[in-house]
Structure formats: C-alpha cells, structure tokens
Amino acid sequence: MSYGVYKVFVECNFITMKFENNIETSNANFFAEDDLPPLSTGRNTEGQIKMCFRATENEFHETIFD
C-alpha cells in the first residue's frame, strides 16, 4: 500500500540530442508550451508542465507543496 507520492521536476541544461532507449522512456523530444503532445495525465498534467515553463521565467521559483 502506498503511503505517499513525491513528484519532482528538475531543470536541466541541454547538452546533446543523443538519446538511449531505456525501460522508462522510449523517446525524447522538445515541444512548445502551446503545442503539447498527448500526455499521460496520470504522470504529468498540462498544468504541471505549464508550471515548469513559468518557473524558467524567473531567477527563483518557490517550491510548491500540496
């Protein structure tokens, strides 16, 4: 039985487009905020992705707990 769920979003620097298929991810791409691909909303919602875009607009971003 699950007692808690943690979700962490990490901002990274782009280094190379080299991608290695693995057990968690089958593909990687870039997308515009207003042109999101179909989402697996049990994992990430449109609101969460938009929150990440907002976080990149400021030098500091406040941690969100809910």
Q: What is the model's pLDDT at position 17?
A: 83
To the question of pTM greater than 0.75 for the whole model, the response is no
pLDDT at 2: 66
Rounded Cα gap, residues 55 and 63, in angstroms? 10
CB-CB contact of 39 with 45 (8 Å): yes
Q: Which residues of 5-31 are buried (b: 16+ CB within 10 A; e: fewer)?
A: eeeeeeeeeeeeeeeeeeeeeeeeeee
* 20, pLDDT greater than 80: yes
27: amino acid identity, one letter? N
Rounded CA separation 16/63 (Å) = 28
